[in-house]
Amino acid sequence: MSNRRFKLLFPITLLAVVACNEMPVEAPGAPEPAFTRVAPPPALTPHTVADVLVRSGALSAPAPARNANFGVPMVNVPGRMLPGEIVYIGQGCFADAYLGDPSGKIALIQRGFCRFDEKVTRAEAAGAIGVIVFNNVGDAILTMGGITANAIPAVFIGQTNGLTLAAASPTSGVIEWNPFDPLAGVVSQLQAAGVLNVGQTRSLTQKLANAKAAAGSGDDAGALDLLTSFVDQVNAFVQAKLIAEADGAFLTAVATGIIASLTP
């Protein structure tokens, strides 16, 4: 080997040795465990989501309400909305004198002393176009039971809102079938609790807003598609452990109830 060839190879060999010495060597150790998402605890307290709202200028916010299990459901009322003058008539039993004339109006009646369907039957006979019964023992929202079928809608609201309407009687108002806004309010509780972020909350509430618009325009099929998409997304959030199973079950149960109301 000539001196010239040795001079060319030596720098290359030296660089290779230096490069090998500079390569990092990983220390042996156990692999890191895979990340496992843990679902948050339930954030929603047990409560009832109304499927009807009573709106009036006398109220600071819409009053949540429930349909009676007799009479005409608000979902079947033309336009799913009943506007009119609300007039307080007292307890509305057959033995009671009316405090106002309900003819052509929405009769506001206090709970107590006789059956719900008796109150509604008498109001209907007096010409009322609808009935609002309010609780006399608190703000719990009940589903009124009875055996007499009525041809007018009847809904139940809490005591606080009922007394407010009674104090303002007669006052204009409207009963509307609207389960979408109350459900959206429950979804927003998950964001307030730090369970869902803004984007996740908006995705769910926008589906409900679009379903409300579709149902309001008579596009029940479109509303059903959006509600089904809402249920699917809630279930996906449960599977991803973003929300608790109990919260997911509550949301899907309410949405399924709306679907049942809209299904022919």
**DSSP secondary structure string, 36-87?**
---PPPP-PPS----SEEEEETTSSSPEEEEE-SSS--GGGSGGGEEEEEEE
Letter for the amino acid at 42?
Answer: P
Contact 165, 105 (CB under 8 A): no
Give the integer Cα–Cα distance in Å for 96 and 98.
6
pLDDT value of position 1: 46
The pair of three-digit structure tokens given for residue 105, joined into one six-digit string: 């109006």
DSSP-derived letter for residue 173 is E
Q: Which residues pair with 90 in a beta bridge?
A: 109
pLDDT value of position 24: 52
The pair of three-digit structure tokens given for residue 101, joined into one six-digit string: 């004339």
pLDDT value of position 45: 78
Give the integer Cα–Cα distance in Å for 180 and 260.
14
Q: Residues near 180 by Cβ (< 8 Å), separated by ≥ 6?
A: 208, 209, 211, 212, 215, 258
Contact 185, 100 (CB under 8 A): no
Q: pLDDT in tens for each of the 264 residues of the chain?
A: 444 444 444 343 433 333 444 445 555 565 666 667 798 999 997 777 899 999 999 999 999 999 999 989 999 999 999 999 999 999 999 999 999 999 999 999 999 999 999 999 999 999 999 999 999 999 999 999 999 899 999 999 999 999 999 999 999 999 999 999 999 999 999 999 999 999 999 999 999 999 999 999 999 999 999 999 999 999 999 999 999 999 999 999 999 999 999 998
